[in-house]
Amino acid sequence: MRLLGIETSCDETGIAIYDDEQGLLSHTLYSQVKLHADYGGVVPELASRDHVRKIVPLIKQAIADAGIEPKELDGIAYTAGPGLVGALLVGACVGRSLAFSWDIPAVAVHHMEGHLLAPMLEDTPPEFPFVALLVSGGHTMLVQVDGIGQYQVLGESIDDAAGEAFDKTAKLMGLDYPGGPMLSKLAEQGTAGRFKFPRPMCDRPGLDFSFSGLKTFAANTIAAEGDDEQTRADIARAFEDAVVDTLAIKCRRALQQTGLKRLVVAGGVSANRHLREQLKVLMDKQKGEVFYPRNEFCTDNGAMIAYAGMQRLKAGETEPLMVKGQPRWPIDTLTPPGQ
């Protein structure tokens, strides 16, 4: 069975072809970073228009790269939420329309389920059950995963997501968009320990996150101390260390609470080198394993949507002709494929 995956939840247009026997046949990605750079963040209307401009050429490219014809496809999966509603509707309308015109089924995919299952595309995928840390620009959550569609949210951010806090703090420091990777790059030049930032919500029980106060602490430190480049690098290092420590502390608690020894980390922030180093130390102490998608599949991409859609399509799930995008869609409302 071969499936076309479409991802348009925010500012990246991702298209992929996945075969349930041969694996990933092709994937293409267009990033809108340059488009939004002048505004310091994603402009939803501009994002939607750019998806409209790029989606069909990318679909044609992915099909050509896979060496197949549209008639060889058995289904189409598209991101239906959560995300920017205009961007979601572009992918949903194109995906559902192509499925109708090619007389093949379509399936709507949850964006965060796509991220959660992205490590399944690797040569050594994790086995169920496991704890998943989903950490991106829009979401930070810990999920107990007993199987596909069997998700229990253990904790989540009550305000800014970790990636959002990275981007906002980078903007306070005058760094170019996208700020998160730029802040991490600057932190590489920083001196660990010069500044001490709080580890939010780690002084109390529970698995929820809060990063808005950390952003405010960074803003105050920048205003008071951030006059030279080395000091700015030291502040960036202190901020990154605080986020990474907080994520690691909560992961340790989640593993202890569930008794599980496998940790999956996905989403854009999962590519952070310091986070990976700290979680490796954690899992070595826990005598467990940690799994990631490859770097190109940490951020939004069509491959993860194609894989997640394949699991649900094979179980008989299909979408009616009605096109729907869900900007808010709790992951724990999903059910196992076919139920």
115 labelled as ligand-binding?
yes
Containing H/E element for 85?
helix 85-102
Pairing mode, strands 140-147 and 150-156: antiparallel
Pairing mode, strands 140-147 and 130-135: antiparallel
Amino acid letter, residue 41: G
8 Å CB contact between 6 and 23? no
Tokens of 244: 């990474």
8 Å CB contact between 118 and 126? no
Tokens of 211: 């990063």
Instruction: Give the 3-state secondary structure of residue 26.
Output: strand
136 labelled as ligand-binding?
yes
25 labelled as ligand-binding?
no
CA distance 40 to 174: 10
Instruction: Give the 3-state secondary structure of residue 107.
Output: strand
51 labelled as ligand-binding?
no
User: What residues contact residue 293 under an 8 Å CB cut-off, 6+ apart?
Assistant: 118, 119, 121, 122, 266, 270, 304
User: What residues contact residue 304 under an 8 Å CB cut-off, 6+ apart?
Assistant: 5, 7, 114, 115, 117, 118, 121, 293, 297
180 labelled as ligand-binding?
yes
Tokens of 41: 């963040």
User: Could you give the C-alpha distances from 295 to 14, 17, 153, 330, 337, in angstroms and in order?
Assistant: 15, 19, 25, 25, 27
153 labelled as ligand-binding?
no
Tokens of 30: 């267009």
33 labelled as ligand-binding?
no
The single residue listed with the structure tokens 């041969």 is: 22
138 labelled as ligand-binding?
yes
At 300, phi and psi to the nearest 5?
A: -60, 140
272 labelled as ligand-binding?
yes
> What residues are designated binding site?
111, 115, 134-138, 167, 180, 272, 300
Please state the residue numbers annotated as binding site for Fe cation: 111, 115, 300
Binding site for substrate: which residues?
134-138, 167, 180, 272
